Homo-oligomer: A and B are copies of this chain.
């Protein structure tokens, strides 16, 4: 069984499109440097639902060990340093998937 990690972000009031673009830019580097990532996707909410969060990240890995390696990777930590100051709220789940 693989693991799908999902994190949804709600931005603080006043977060700019440029700041969200910077989040996308730093996340976009991760699949190239974190070998444990077997699938990776992210993006801003499309605005077709109501009450939605603002941004999603989906990371697919093979094992719990690989998930922890992803979380602890210095480049992931660097991405979190960009994201955390913008966060009003965060929701996450890891669940089992076929890989």
- Report A's interface with B, CB cutoff 8 A: 3-6, 8, 41-46, 48-49, 51-56, 58, 64, 67-68, 91-97
Contact = CB atoms under 8 A, between A and B. Distances in A.
Main secondary structure of the interface of A (DSSP, over half): strand
A14 to B, nearest CB: 20
Contacts of A91: 8, 53, 91
Nearest to A93: B56
Contact of A45 (B43, B58, B95): B95
Contacts of A97: 41, 43
Contacts of A56: 4, 6, 93, 95
Contacts of A42: 95
